[in-house]
C-alpha cells in the first residue's frame, strides 16, 4: 500500500466510530481521549452531532476535554449554530465540561431560548457555569427567569439547578418571579428559591416546600383584602 492510500489516524478513528457496536464506539472514543491528537478533534465533534447512544456521547465529550483546548474550542464553537439540535446540545455540553470562559459570548439568547428543550436546558447549565462575573450572572438570571413555570417537571428542575449554580446573583430574578400572579411561575420560583438555599435537597421536596409557602402567601393576601 502506498503512503497516499495509507489511512490517517483520523480516518481510523472515524471508521471505528462508525461501528454498529456501541461498546466498540465507547472504546474508540476512550482511546482518542487517552492518546489525544489534533486530528482527532474534528472527528469527535462530527460524531457528537449524530451519535445515538448517550454513553458514547458522554465518552466523546470526555475525549474532547482531553484534547488541546484551543483546537477543541475552534471546532466546537461553530457547532452552536448548527441546524442539528443534537450538535448544538453536545457542543454546549462539551463547553460546560471544558469550562473555558472564552466560550461565554457564544452562548446567545437564541440558545437559551432554543425551541429544542434539550438544547435550551444544556445552554442554561453551560451559561450558568461560564458567566464570568456577578453582573453577567445577574443578567443571565433575568434571561432565564422567563422560563419559570414552563414545561414538564424535568425541564423545570434543569432551570432550578441552573439558578443553584448562579447562587446569590440570581436571587433578585427569583424574588420577582415569586411575586408573579401566575401560580405556576410563582410555585417554580419558590421551589428554586428553596433549592438555592438548600442545594442538597431534591426538586420534589423543594416543590412541596414551595406549595406550602405559596399557600401561606395566598392566605395572607386574602386576609389583607377582607
7-37 pLDDT, tens per residue?
A: 999 999 999 999 999 999 999 999 999 999 9
Among 178, 105, 122, CA closest to 145: 178
Q: Is residue 110 part of a domain?
A: no
Q: What local confidence, expressed as pLDDT, does residue 215 receive?
A: 78
Q: What local confidence, expressed as pLDDT, does residue 213 receive?
A: 84
| Distance, CA of 129 to CA of 125 (rounded, Å) | 6
User: Which helix or strand (DSSP H or E) is residue 219 part of?
Assistant: helix 203-225
pTM for the structure as a whole: 0.90
Q: What local confidence, expressed as pLDDT, does residue 224 receive?
A: 54
* Cell numbers that stand for 197 in this block: 438555599
In terms of domains, do 162 and 225 share one?
yes
Distances (CA, A) of 170 to 13, 39, 40, 128: 43, 41, 39, 10
Q: Is residue 117 part of a domain?
A: no
Q: Is residue 20 part of a domain?
A: yes
Q: What local confidence, expressed as pLDDT, does residue 100 receive?
A: 96
Q: Is residue 113 part of a domain?
A: no
Q: What local confidence, expressed as pLDDT, does residue 1 receive?
A: 42
* Cell numbers that stand for 85 in this block: 439540535
Ranges of the chain whose pLDDT falls below 50: 1-2, 222, 226
127-136 pLDDT, tens per residue?
A: 999 999 999 9
In terms of domains, do 140 and 100 share one?
no
CB 159 within 8 A of CB 152: no
Range of the domain at 216: 131-226
Q: Is residue 192 part of a domain?
A: yes
* Cell numbers that stand for 66 in this block: 482531553
Amino acid at each position: 500500500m502506498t503512503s497516499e492510500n495509507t489511512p490517517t489516524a483520523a480516518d481510523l478513528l472515524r471508521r471505528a466510530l462508525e461501528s454498529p457496536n456501541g461498546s466498540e464506539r465507547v472504546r474508540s472514543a476512550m482511546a482518542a481521549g487517552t492518546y489525544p491528537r489534533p486530528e482527532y478533534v474534528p472527528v469527535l465533534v462530527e460524531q457528537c452531532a449524530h451519535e445515538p447512544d448517550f454513553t458514547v456521547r458522554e465518552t466523546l465529550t470526555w475525549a474532547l476535554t482531553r484534547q488541546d483546548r484551543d483546537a477543541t474550542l475552534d471546532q466546537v464553537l461553530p457547532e452552536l449554530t448548527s441546524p442539528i439540535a443534537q450538535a448544538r446540545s453536545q457542543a454546549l455540553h462539551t463547553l460546560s465540561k471544558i469550562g473555558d470562559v472564552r466560550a461565554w459570548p457564544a452562548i446567545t439568547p437564541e440558545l437559551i431560548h432554543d425551541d429544542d428543550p434539550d438544547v435550551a436546558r444544556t445552554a442554561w447549565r453551560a451559561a450558568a457555569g461560564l458567566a464570568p462575573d456577578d453582573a453577567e450572572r445577574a443578567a443571565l438570571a433575568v434571561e432565564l427567569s422567563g422560563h419559570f413555570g414552563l414545561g414538564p417537571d424535568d425541564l423545570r428542575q434543569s432551570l432550578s439547578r441552573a439558578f443553584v449554580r448562579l447562587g446569590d446573583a440570581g436571587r433578585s430574578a427569583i424574588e420577582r418571579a415569586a411575586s408573579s400572579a401566575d401560580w405556576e411561575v410563582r410555585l417554580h420560583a419558590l421551589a428554586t428559591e428553596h433549592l438555592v438555599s438548600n442545594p442538597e435537597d431534591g426538586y420534589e421536596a423543594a416543590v412541596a416546600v414551595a406549595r406550602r409557602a405559596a399557600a401561606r402567601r395566598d392566605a395572607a393576601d386574602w386576609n389583607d383584602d377582607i
